Amino acid sequence: MKTTKQLLGARIKDLRKSKGFSQAEFSEKLEIATNFLSRIEVGVNYPSLDTIERMSEVLEVEIKDLFEFAYLQEGNSEVINIEKLLKDAGEEKRRLAYKIIRSLVR
């Protein structure tokens, strides 16, 4: 099972990549060393609160979004995660999600 450090690091890496930043570009924007960012992303080090705040600003996400890594946990049921996401969605979004999922599994 992955540790919280590893899950946080993997989430940060996913978000960084989704924004198209290399480690060097992202670490420069955060004003931290690239090797320190690397250690955060592999789960060796925790970022400080100041670094977490800068990460959320640079990645244009809320701080809480950095800690949404349930989907990364081993053995976590995707169906349960989908149900949680759809629980808070409106009727129109649930219908759209159903159509998308139906087309994927056919």
- Residue extents of the structural domains in the chain: 4-71, 77-105
Q: Round to whole Å and give the CA distance between 89 and 46.
A: 33
In CATH, what number does 4-71 get? 1.10.260.40
Q: Round to whole Å and give the CA distance between 25 and 43.
A: 20
Q: How far apart, in Å, do the first and last CA atoms of the chain sit?
A: 32
As a whole-number percent, the residues of the chain with pLDDT over 70 amount to: 91
pLDDT digits (tens, 9 = 90+) for 57-101: 999 999 999 998 877 766 556 666 777 788 888 889 888 988 898
8 Å CB contact between 23 and 58: no
More confidently predicted of 3 and 13: 13
pLDDT band at 51 (very low <50, low <70, confident <90, very high): very high
**How much is the pLDDT for 82?**
77
Mutual angle of helices 34-41 and 4-18, in 10-degree steps: 120
* Residue 21 scores a pLDDT above 80: yes
Q: Round to whole Å and give the CA distance between 19 and 60.
A: 9
**How much is the pLDDT for 106?**
76
